[in-house]
Structure 1
Amino acid sequence: MNRLPSPDDLLILLTVARLGRFNAVAETLGTTHTTISRRIMALDKQLGGRTLERSPHGWELTELGSQAVAAAEAIEATLGSLTGALSNGEDSLSGLVRISTSDGFGAEFVAPALVRLQQDNPLLNVEMLSATRKVSQNRSGVDLEVVVGRMEVTNMQPVFLTNYFLRLYASPGYVRSRGLPAALEDIKEHGFVSYVESALQVAELGHRSSQLPAPKSSFQATSVFAQVEAVRCGAGIGLLPNFMVADNPDFVPVLPELFQRQLPIWAVARPESLRSASVRAVVAALKAEVSGRQDILAA
């Protein structure tokens, strides 16, 4: 090693370790994939070895890369302290945090938590991507994924946030015109609103895995907001998140004593991401949000 490694290149490596893909890093830093690749190659030359290697899960750190990331984290912490000092200690968090979340939970819980966090830290930038899917086994280009259902990952660190319920609901108008089923078997005589099964990654959210009988007709949508509106308009009985419609007079519970499905929600990130103060602050904000609103989640 002829000279000290570039602090900028070290910080780029840190971002690669957190996001896992050069394209995602380039988008975050406002540059190109080619530039990121060139800066990593320059860093490898400065350090005298490879810092990254490919794997089925994207770019992974080598032993040398882990040592370099530790140095990059120290630089990041020092710059964060300097930023806090220059802003009189008011803005302790800065930079960009990218979060992927299901659209319903994202709108109801993630967005309010992030807005409050950002109000306390005006230098913090947030990108929230809506995606109802399983946690990615490959690098997804986000710092944090908020996902529903079982955890089947080995290279990620899950943080449990809360449980919620999927229950059956209909609109008052639908109930007046079609009546309520007396038993689960009677659902086959009704319309049913749920996710598009062919596009659904989280099987637990769909009708097919619920073991409910096949309905007379179906209205399927990839957006839970479209499903909620379809039920409101009388399309049929819907399998909906309780926190979106509970205690809303536009929605009537259907067979609440006979059917419900409880699902967990997790915040999932790579270990490198969770070493970021901003990402940890986001996780803490999400935990505080769901803790303070357990009455809605349990309704």
Structure 2
Amino acid sequence: MDWEQLRFFLELARAGRLVIAARRMGVDHTTVSRKVQALEKSLGRPLFLREHEGYKLTEAGRALLPQVEAMESAYVGISDSLPTLGEQLSGQVRIAATEAYSTLLLAEQLAELGRRYPHLKVDLLALPRAVQLSRNEADIVITLERPERGPFIITRLTDYRLHLYGSADYLAQHPTITQVEQLSGHRFVSYVDDLLFSKELTFLDELLKNAKADLCSTSVLTQQRAVAAGAGLAILPAFAANQEPRLRQVLADEISFTRTFWMLMPIELKDIARTRTVWNFLREQAAQEQTTLLPPLQHKESVDE
């Protein structure tokens, strides 16, 4: 029995659709179909029912599945014990994360991943919206919302800090802000309320009663560029805003928000070597970025000095 054919069988059994299985394997969908058909021919029985909504296992397919999963677990164990095999990881892993985390942190981290595993193909979805694992839009998702239920593996990836920022030029044109109440006379930049993909991004109500944004965008990086250009004040993630030299923290000793990034993947992918490797890599990288994600809080004493 050909292990290569069994790998394609296993991927199609998990994905339920040729195009998704092909994406994960990093091949064309015709390759998946050809490999599965060859396996079925060698076994002398159909393993899938081809239906309009996708591929479903036959009785023979359901009987074969746990045996192939056991073979996969054995292979993963060998890969873990022999690093040279791990370096040959191949196939595709699709990661979805919030726009700022993807652009400012993951992009560089994935360059290192590529150096470690040159045969691994990665898709990075940097989106200012929620991605649905249940729709197979991604294999690993980094999100602000922790699902209450679902067949997922979930971990708390990292906390991160946000502060109120304004540009040096904007702040120079207005009286010095020494208390929260003085913010009511300022312009704000924020998210478009009815297009928010997470309740964790509602900051203005916590900051100032009845505060309204004068400029709104679904993109936090667009908000940051607007604030740096003098459009007003905004709550921005420190790992992004602290990279912009035109920005200054406002009431740094008083205004601070902490949010959490959760990382999820479908439970059926947890024993696949490539997804587990990427999962562990992302956790490792997040741990190394703690100073960037959670910079020390500023206090009046240190500012006065």
Query: Take 1:146 and 1:62, find their aligned partners in 2: how far apart are those partners?
Result: 34
Whether 2:74 is the aligned partner of 1:74: answer no
1:188 aligned partner: 184
By how many angstroms is 1:72 displaced? 5.4
Tell me which amino acid in the other structure corresponds to 1:46: R
Tell me which amino acid in the other structure corresponds to 2:65: A
Rate the CA distance shift 1:99–1:59 in 2: closer, same or farther, 3 A. Answer: farther
Rate the CA distance shift 1:174–1:35 in 2: closer, same or farther, 3 A. Answer: same
Rate the CA distance shift 1:181–1:14 in 2: closer, same or farther, 3 A. Answer: farther
Deviation per residue, 1:53-112 (Å, 9 max, x gap): x8xxx9998996485165057369759979xx9x96583311111111111111222222
Query: Take 2:243 and 2:260, find their aligned partners in 1: how far apart are those partners?
Result: 21
Whether 2:138 is the aligned partner of 1:142: answer yes
1:164 aligned partner: 160
1:19–1:139: 8 Å Cα contact kept in structure 2? no
Is the radius of gyration larger for structure 1 or structure 2? Answer: 2
By how many angstroms is 1:181 displaced? 3.8
Query: Take 1:172 and 1:188, find their aligned partners in 2: how far apart are those partners?
Result: 19
2:302 aligned partner: none
1:135–1:145: 8 Å Cα contact kept in structure 2? yes
Rate the CA distance shift 1:51–1:267 in 2: closer, same or farther, 3 A. Answer: farther
2:18–2:29: 8 Å Cα contact kept in structure 1? no
1:135–1:268: 8 Å Cα contact kept in structure 2? no
1:46 aligned partner: 45
Query: Take 1:91 and 1:166, find their aligned partners in 2: how far apart are those partners?
Result: 37
1:296 aligned partner: 292
Rate the CA distance shift 1:16–1:168 in 2: closer, same or farther, 3 A. Answer: farther
Query: Take 2:198 and 2:158, find their aligned partners in 1: how far apart are those partners?
Result: 17
Deviation per residue, 1:270-291 (Å, 9 max, x gap): 1121211111111221111121
1:94–1:124: 8 Å Cα contact kept in structure 2? yes
- Unaligned regions of 5+ residues in structure 1, if any? none
Q: Any idea what SS the aligned residue of 2:29 has? A: coil
Question: For structure 1, which segment, 65-74 or 126-135, has the greater mean C-alpha deviation from structure 2 after superposition?
Answer: 65-74
1:197 aligned partner: 193
Whether 2:85 is the aligned partner of 1:92: answer no
Tell me which amino acid in the other structure corresponds to 1:68: L
Rate the CA distance shift 1:45–1:96 in 2: closer, same or farther, 3 A. Answer: same
1:158–1:266: 8 Å Cα contact kept in structure 2? yes
CA RMSD of aligned residues (A): 4.0
2:265 aligned partner: 269
Query: Take 2:56 and 2:203, find their aligned partners in 1: how far apart are those partners?
Result: 38
Rate the CA distance shift 1:204–1:79 in 2: closer, same or farther, 3 A. Answer: closer
Rate the CA distance shift 1:216–1:120 in 2: closer, same or farther, 3 A. Answer: closer
Rate the CA distance shift 1:135–1:69 in 2: closer, same or farther, 3 A. Answer: farther
By how many angstroms is 1:179 displaced? 3.5
Q: Any idea what SS the aligned residue of 1:280 has? A: helix
Q: How many residues align?
A: 288
The two structures have a TM-score, normalised by structure 2, of: 0.76
2:242 equivalent among 236, 242, 246: 246
2:299 aligned partner: none
